[in-house]
Amino acid sequence: MRLRSVSNLISRGGTILGTSRSAEMRTEAGLKKAAGILQKHRIDALIPIGGDGTFHGAVELSKYWNGQMVGCPGTIDNDLLGTDYTIGFATAVHTAVDALDKLRDTAESHERMFLVEVMGRHSGYIALYTALAGGAEVIAIPETHTDVPAIVERLKSLKARGKRSIMVVVAEGDESGGAINLDAGLKEAGCPFETRVILLGHLQRGGSPVPEDRILASRLGDFAVTALDRGARGVMAGDVRGELVLTPFEQTFAHHKAVPENLLEVLRTMAS
């Protein structure tokens, strides 16, 4: 790669390098092979960009390779500790909110309820931000108990108050098993609305990044390179309350990153 290799990348989604969930990198032989390739090409520093799997891999790789690594958080899930936001999260939320706005038109015209499933294997971050920004009435996320009979009671009272449309945002990792299962459960419990289910899936992982992501990626990328120059290793660059910070890889996935309780409260108020 040369300087020109990255020309005009800022407006593109995905990665020009390619990526994979590599089973080989989970084996000692695979890690040794990766270390050998890095040595052969005389690569002395890496900037791994990804989520918990990537940083897990980086920790393992450092057992076989002595180069420097400073990572950047790149996952739509926003589930890494050591940064308030991960690169890709804002774009994913933007796409999901756009979908909600469009679905609301049919919901309102036909007096329907839509269950919209968003990504986030173990995290309700995308669901919470999407629900708030899209004015959803109900949310189902792994961080809170999804009480089907209570939801149906609320739906009945919203219907009685003349509500024509309902948006339910479901995180794929919710304990209900996702939007299709939750739909079945709500119907069985007497849901008063006609329903439709939409799985947004990988639509949320592509497309031109929104300005927040472009700016975050530029700031963190710049910070990661500076940190490498200064000798940092085994850490991820992050933004915590506007400050650029470095966090050891192991700490970025040490435990579940809780969704902000105050935002859940705002959602409850707005939806009630």
Contacts with ligand F6P, residue ranges (CB under 6 A): 21, 51, 75-77, 119-121, 172, 205
CB closer to ligand F6P out of 38 and 131: 131
Q: Quickly count: other Cβ atoms within 10 Å of residue 199's Cβ.
A: 16
CB of 266 to ligand F6P, least distance (A): 23
143 or 172: whose CB is closer to ligand F6P?
A: 172
Q: Which is nearer to ligand F6P, 36 or 201 (CB)?
A: 201
Least distance (Å) from ligand F6P to the CB of residue 73?
Answer: 12
- C-alpha–C-alpha distance, residues 38 and 46, integer Å: 9
Element (H, E) at 235: strand 235-240
CB 259, min distance to ligand F6P, A = 14
Rounded to 5°, the CA angle 63-238-33 comes to 25
Q: What residue spans of the chain are helical by DSSP H? A: 28-40, 52-61, 89-110, 125-134, 148-160, 179-188, 211-229, 249-252, 261-271
Reading the block at residue 179, the tokens are 């939007």
DSSP state of 87: B
Tokens 């989970």 belong to 26
Task: Tell me whether residue 118 or residue 228 sits nearer to ligand F6P (CB atom).
Answer: 118
- Smallest separation (angstroms) from ligand F6P to the CB of 88: 8
Catalytic residue numbers? 77
Sign of CA dihedral 191, 197, 202, 208: negative
What is the Rg, in whole angstroms, of the alpha carbon atoms belonging to the chain? 21
* Least distance in angstroms from the C-beta of 169 to ligand F6P: 14
Cβ neighbours, 10 Å, residue 266? 12
CB nearer to ligand F6P: give 65 or 89.
89
